[in-house]
Structure 1
Amino acid sequence: MWPAQTSTKVPMYAAFAIGQLWDAGVLLDADNAGHQAREKIKDMNLKDYAAQTGHEFRVLMLDKAAGVKKTDVAIEDLFPDEWFLECVNRAYGLALRLEDLPEDGSTLIAKRVEIAMKQRQGRDLKKKEVLVEMLKEFDGWTTVDDLPAGTAANAENLFKKVNAAFGVES
């Protein structure tokens, strides 16, 4: 598994990996873009090629792999919404609350925060700014108990699914 940066690149990587006879895979966000990438890979008939060569390209969707019970799931959704929002508030000097976020049909915390920031401050959400705050938190964690509630379970589910997809026992 390797990072693709954006789901639109994943079908190209899938074709490259299978062409190189690599056992490979991708973890996609469970949003419209992720589902579209999954369908493009499915349309490439890589399973037939994989069956002939013995090499497989696996597609894992983040919601099912991590067991996160949301309609849409991105990597930041492995953490509690409240915790992500705290990181946003520190990064931007804001005081947004969960009740300030719109209910627009998406459960993606970043999308909901972005809409609220645009409406209230006329600002765009830059995930790299939030990541800086997240990394500061990560640096202070020394045990699993330091993780925000539910995060360890989501991560454990995710790693078990990835390992199982590659035939590795957890």
Structure 2
Amino acid sequence: MGNADTDRRGEASLAQGDPWVVPARAPILVMAVGNLLRGDDGFAEAVLAALAERDLPETVELFDAGTSAIDLMEIFDRRDRLIVLDAVRGGAAPGTLYRFSPEEVEAQALPMNSLHQVGLLETLRLGELVNCKPKETVVIGVQPQDTALGIGLSPVVAAAVEKAVELVLQEIYSQGRPPGRPHAPL
């Protein structure tokens, strides 16, 4: 009888939103950071939309974060892997794709800059301070051509969307790539 009561209480607690019950989260979060109203800054949303058309495993959650990663620490807490999609200024030709981890950017003082008020690196550092950080983070970014007000990607950035989708799928299914030149343009 004790087990049945416990089970019933557990079910009731879940149904009523018990604050002590932590809901399960997909271990992999693919998060788009960007602004559809600023041209190529809508790259991440375009990649996320293309991924939504794919048959992804249940272990993957897609999330559009908009432009402020600082508000989202809770959403990437308790994740095994965070894959961030963003437009970044890395100094390469427009449409160039990058794959890097925040640690690589910090360790090598790479010139990778997000286009948003509070960048991903700052958000992850703050997350460490409050123990709210994914186990592993990778960023797949594109060098933008035009981020002026306007809807739609430039042709060179639009051409990079499908390749970015393939890079994300590689991250999902193969858990990344072997060490090498991780910060080099792809």
Same fold? TM cut 0.5: no
Q: Which has the higher contact order (CA 8 A, sep 6+)?
A: 2
Q: Report which of the two has the higher share of strand.
A: 2
